[in-house]
Structure 1
Amino acid sequence: MVTSNSWQRIVATVSPAEWAQQSPDEAFGGYSAGAAKRLLDLSMAGLGLVVLFPLLAVIALAVKLDSRGSALFISRRLGRNGRVFQCWKFRTMTQDVQETRLGLWLRRHGLDELPQLINVIRGEMSVVGPKPLMASEFPKETASRLRRLQMMPGMTGLWAVSDAESSPLTPYISPDDVYRRNWSIWLDVIIVARSMGAAVVGH
């Protein structure tokens, strides 16, 4: 479990100067580690789509019946190396931008993000990674924060399960940078497990 204390211990090992010098392969510890992460993504996303297909179908139908509009909401996000892709989610708002009761429940349990399993299969996202940025936010990003674009954005990540905002961190340290510097298969598994636990309790 990534607690506030463990978060601070991780941060203590990070050198911001090293982040700026690392290539994507170095961030993963080598090409083979990057391939292992992709294999983990395909395994998790493939299994998730098979197991959760009935739930996905029920949610899609419920969204359609709950309010007018498509079951899916598609937004333009920044992927690896700044490549723009279409990120899929279940629609949680009406056409006049009001959150629906079903949408509120879906977001509370993270179920609106499940269509992104298809983005993972397509190689546009990772199960765990930096928070996906809206394409419209690109001009606002500083050079230091754009290092996150050396990795594929994630359905979940350290940004979703850590208590970073309440930690006494300096401004240039973000959960995405810490994740990039300390990535491992085991860390991905921990983040996925904690994200699933948060989804079950509706946090």
Structure 2
Amino acid sequence: MRDVGVSESAGEPGGRAVVAEDGPAKPRPERIRPKGRAGDGKARWYRPLAVLTDTFGIGVPLAAVLAADGQDLPVVGGLVGAGTWATIRALRQRYAAQRLGEAWGVLAAVRDWVLLAGILALALVLSDVENGPEPTLALAALTPGLLLTATVTPLTRLHLNRQRREARAVRRALVVGEPAAVDQVVERLSSRTDHAYVVVGVVPVGHQVLGCGMPVSERLASLDTDHQRDAAAVLRAVEAAGADVALVVPGLRMTGDRLRQVSWALHGAGLQLAVVPGLAEVAQARVRPTSAAGLTVLQVSPPAQEFGQPWLKSLLDRAGALCGVVALAPVFGALALAVRFSSPGPVFYRQRRCGLGGRPFTMWKFRTMVVDAETRRASLAGRNQNDGHMFKMRRDPRVTRLGSVMRRLSLDELPQLFNVLRGDMSLIGPRPPLPEEVARYSQVEHRRLAVKPGMTGLWQVSGRSDLSWDETVALDLWYVDNWSVSADMEIMTRTLRAVVDGRGAY
């Protein structure tokens, strides 16, 4: 593939030109006014809230602690701490419009806070101040700022997610590529709302009929011959659809040379280009772009290997389970009595399940069915409403009246906190399958067993038993490949809403 260079040259005032190796400078096309930019449509209070949260969260507690400790100029100390914190956050692009509301932000805040503590500690040592504040006291003064930032930042994301479910704070996208690839991208983008794109048109390569049903204002020729004509066609389609970004899917007929010409035309018109690679279900945090011999290479890291996240997840699991057992002890007692006196049989139901790597363990639940539920399951096999390996049935006659209420509110799952304490389960993860289900797993489905099963997970916050088997597997595989502590915290937050809503629980 031939290299083509881009340079700026003097021309008409304010004009720029594209220079290719094999031709004279060609003027850029007339600029099209974009309908939106990254960050447009988001609530304007995102950035002021983030800045005020950071500055007041660090400055006020630090000034108060310094004043209580009898230090000189406590207000100045608070301003220095707040300014340093805000500077660190700004330099790390935490206030950028493209990033506000896009990430959960908890681990990012922790990393920034560690850097802040190190900078302030170094400054304290180098200043050689007599009778300075105790390091532990100063560190404690910085903690409220971290907690406040780690609390407010997720609220911004939740608000942005809600906006996007209502088709706000989105960018109008034109998808360019081969028909099969275009159909796939449009289908994926249309199936979810947790992203910034709404497709307003497509430009397929060739004359094959599309299945996505999107309007086609232009088509590119099957043969990669006239790049300038391709660029002009894409620009016309962008203007006709009112798009502000073009999503290009590379392929056999959407070559690098073709993509380069399209990018020049789009950028010359003041529009943005995004390339959709063949990667799917890979979290952004795992992808790092690099360059090799002029080629752009995307390096994909293993899931959650940095900053000791597996160890941190295990620690949080056990700490959370212990706090849950202690805090919910009265609820455990009340539920145990209710189950015992509502129907004959034991309080708890024990069942063999498969955990990490397929290792069997005994899972505990409050009993929600009649005693002979397992023996009656065979007679109900024909009424299974799940299309996969699991048995799910609405209005299951084996479920007791109290059991249906407990299932709707997920109260029957509470004894699994003891499974988490034992290390058999995690708070967040795929649901633990039965051994007979695992025996029928395909090679792909076995991937679900690569992490510990959880009390809740993406399946619960995305529809629970209303999901098809394929949807359940897809969610579990995404979690296995992309889990992180920050993602776990988001799922835990969304679980509360799912439990209160009660949809899909039966």
With normalisation by structure 2, the TM-score equals: 0.35
Partners of 2:354 and 2:473 in 1: CA distance: 20
* Superposed counterparts of 1:51-130, under 5 Å: 51-97=327-373, 98-130=398-430
Is the aligned partner of 1:5 residue 2:305?
no
Q: Number of paired residues?
A: 191
Q: CA RMSD in A?
A: 3.0
Deviation per CA, 1:164-199: give whole Å up to 9, x if none.
9999xx889611111122212121111111112222
With over 3 angstroms needed to count, the CA separation of the structure-2 counterparts of 1:196 and 1:172, relative to structure 1, is closer
Specify whether residues 90 and 38 from structure 1 end up closer, same or farther in structure 2 by C-alpha distance, changes over 3 A only.
same
Q: Map residues 41-56 of structure 1 onto 2, 5 A cutoff.
A: 41-56=317-332
Alignment-derived partner of residue 281 in structure 2: 14
Higher RCO structure (Cα 8 Å, ≥6 apart): 1
Give 1:41 shift: 0.5
Structure (1 or 2) with the greater helix fraction: 1
SS of residue paired to 1:75: strand
Give CA deviations for 1:129-181 in whole Å, capped at 9, x if unaligned.
012101121210011111111100000001111259999xx889611111122
Counterpart residue identity of residue 198, structure 1: A
SS for the counterpart of 1:99 is coil
Which amino acid counterpart does residue 421 of structure 2 have in structure 1?
I
Question: Is contact 1:48-1:117 (8 Å) kept?
Answer: yes
1:139 matched to which residue of 2?
A: 439
Per-residue deviation, 1:28: 2.8
Specify the SS of the correspondent of 1:86: strand
SS in 2 for 1:58: helix
Counterparts in 2 of 1:72 and 1:8: CA distance versus 1, 3 Å: farther
Kept in 2, the 8 Å contact 1:130–1:154? The answer is yes
The structure having more radius of gyration, on CA atoms, is: 2
State the one-letter code of the partner of 1:178.
W
Output the CA distance in 2 between the equivalents of 1:112 and 1:172: 21
Checking the alignment, whether the CA contact within 8 Å between 2:448 and 2:473 is kept in structure 1 is no
Query: Match for 1:93: what amino acid?
Result: M
Which structure 1 segments of 5+ residues have no match?
A: 19-24
- Give yes or no for contact 2:353–2:363 (8 Å, CA) kept in 1: yes
Provide the rounded CA distance (Å) in 2 between the counterparts of 1:152 and 1:83.
10
Describe the SS at the equivalent of 1:174: helix
Quickly say closer, same or farther: Cα 1:58–1:174, change in 2 above 3 A: same
Q: Is 1:198 matched with 2:386?
A: no
**What amino acid is aligned across from residue 281 of structure 2 in structure 1?**
V
For the 8 Å contact 2:428–2:491, the answer to whether it is kept is: yes
Q: 1:155 aligned to 449, 455, 459, which one? A: 455
Contact kept in structure 1, 2:460 and 2:498, CA below 8 Å: no
Looking at structure 2, the residues matched to 45 and 171 of structure 1 have their Cα atoms a distance apart, in angstroms, of 28
Q: Amino acid of the residue matched to residue 440 of structure 2? A: K
> Please, which moves more after superposition, 79-88 or 182-191?
182-191
Cα offset, 1:105, TM superposition:
0.2
Structure 2 distance, partners of 1:46, 1:147, is 29
* Secondary structure, counterpart of 2:350 in structure 1: strand
Q: 2: CA distance between counterparts of 1:90 and 1:193?
A: 23
* Corresponding letter in the other structure for 1:61: L
**Residues 1:159 and 1:80: Cα distance change in structure 2 (over 3 Å):** same
Of 189-198 and 36-45, more deviation after overlay is shown by 189-198
Which residue of structure 1 lines up, in the alignment, with residue 77 of structure 2? Answer: none
Q: Which residue of 2 aligns with 1:22?
A: none
